[in-house]
Each structure stands twice: as C-alpha cells, then as structure tokens.
Structure 1
C-alpha cells in the first residue's frame, strides 16, 4: 500500500515541478521581488488577515516570534509590509501590506487571471474542483495531525 502512495506522490511532485518550469516565464515579474518561500507565505498570510500581529503569525506558522521578527524586518526593509502601533497595546504592532507588498499582491492577482485565461480555462472545471477538494482534504488531515502533536 505504501508503495502505491509513493508512486502517486512522486507523480504529483513531478507534475508540480514541471508546472513550475512551464510557467517560469509567466512568473518573471514576481521574481523581481526576490522573496524566499517563507517570506512569500507570510506575506500571503498578511494579505489575507487585516491587522495581524507577529504573535498571530508565529502561532499560525508554528514558528517562534523571533523567527517571524526576522522575516518581518526584511519585509519591512523592502517596503513589503508596514507596521502600526496597536492603540490598545502599545507594545504590539499591527502588520499590513506596504507599498511593495500591495504591488506584489496585485501582480499575483494579474498572474492568476493570465493563467486562468491561458491554461486553467482549458481544463474542465470539474477537474479543477476535484483537485482543489483533494488539496483541502490533505490540509485538513495535516491540521488534525498537528492538533494531536
């Protein structure tokens, strides 16, 4: 049974890798921001959560506040994020997208539209829905596992 999972996961990983290679030309505009994967993930989290704090990010990612602070410092330096003091707790800052962060998110949205027009729209919507549901199920399994550890 394990070998069947290994086979399909290898195929899935190969497909993700090939996808990345195939759309590399499309993603050149976002490459200019030179973000690490962790910076990209934290930036996406900030874009989805208004007035988020470093503690909330650390909790959501399961990493230390110190690690988050290092990433946030680099993002702030590059104007990807902005901080505002929490009026209820002066020792805490709310984090939002900065000028370059807004540009980055806008480019990602433009990229999504381009990929939909050029590629995703050529695939049956039911197949895309099934793929999305499968990823959501995998995410739920991981969340449940993380709650028990």
Structure 2
C-alpha cells in the first residue's frame, strides 16, 4: 500500500508543481489544511487535534504568518487568545489545492469504477480510525504515567 501511495505521488508530481512553489513542510501543509476547514480556530485547538505541544504549533504558525499564509485576530472574549484564519497566500494555496482536486477527479478518478473508489475510501477511513484509536490509547497511557 505504501508503494502505491509513493507511486501515486510520483505520477501526479507534474500536477502539483503550482503547489510546490509555496515550499511548505508536511506539518505546515497539514496545519494550513486544518485552518482552512475550521473557522476561527485557536492554537490550542490545533495542538489538541494534532497531539503536539502549543509551542510546536506556535513555531509553525509564526512561519506561516511570516509568509502571509495565515492571519491572527485577537479573540474579543479572551484577549490572550487569537483566532487563526487563512491569509492572502493561504487563500491562494487552498484555491490551488481545490483546482488540483478538480483536475484529479476529472482526469483520473472519474475513469475508475465508482465501487472501487468507494471501497478505497472506506478502507482509508477504517485505517484512519485505527490510527486515531491507537493515538488516543497512547495519549491516555502517557497521561497515566505522568500522574
């Protein structure tokens, strides 16, 4: 399965060149995608969702903010907290991702049997659930050991 994912990445490399110009790390990309999907998200929410420290999130957010990928706005209810949303370049990045999705659907996914795509999607969802459960178990064990 890993080999198939790697080959997929190689095969669509030409399609992703516009996105590559943003030179994001995988963690920056994942956090940016999370911000795009969640309105008025906070650094604490990102840290919790990714299972990483707020300090690690802050480092990534600082870099994204420097590159105008995100903007921060002070939470009027809690001045010590900021809401994070897409900045000018973040909007461009997400727009390019959406264009890529449409192109992949039109040029490739639409040529694969719908049942096969549905099965693949369900399988990935099941794998994601197993990973989430494993991460939750690991986090709980870590909490128990610290107490």
- TM-score normalised by length of structure 2: 0.92
Deviation at 1:142, TM superposition (A): 1.5
State the match for 1:142 in structure 2.
131
Deviation at 1:148, TM superposition (A): 2.1
* Residue 81 in structure 1 maps to residue 70 in structure 2: yes
Distance 1:136 1:21 in 2: 23
How many pairs align? 138
Distance 1:73 1:42 in 2: 12
Q: 1:48 aligns with which of 8, 30, 37?
A: 37
Deviation at 1:37, TM superposition (A): 0.1
Runs of 4+ in structure 1 deviating by more than 6 angstroms, as ranges, are: none
Unaligned runs of 5+ in 2: 139-147
Distance 2:9 2:128 in 1: 21
Q: Secondary structure at the match of 1:144?
A: helix
Q: Secondary structure at the match of 1:50?
A: coil
**CA deviation vs aligned residue, 1:32-77 (integer Å, no higher than 9, x gap):** 0000000000000000100000000001101110000000000000
Q: CA RMSD in A?
A: 0.7
Deviation at 1:146, TM superposition (A): 2.0
Q: Secondary structure at the match of 1:35?
A: coil
Deviation at 1:139, TM superposition (A): 1.0
Distance 2:65 2:6 in 1: 30
- TM-score normalised by length of structure 1: 0.91
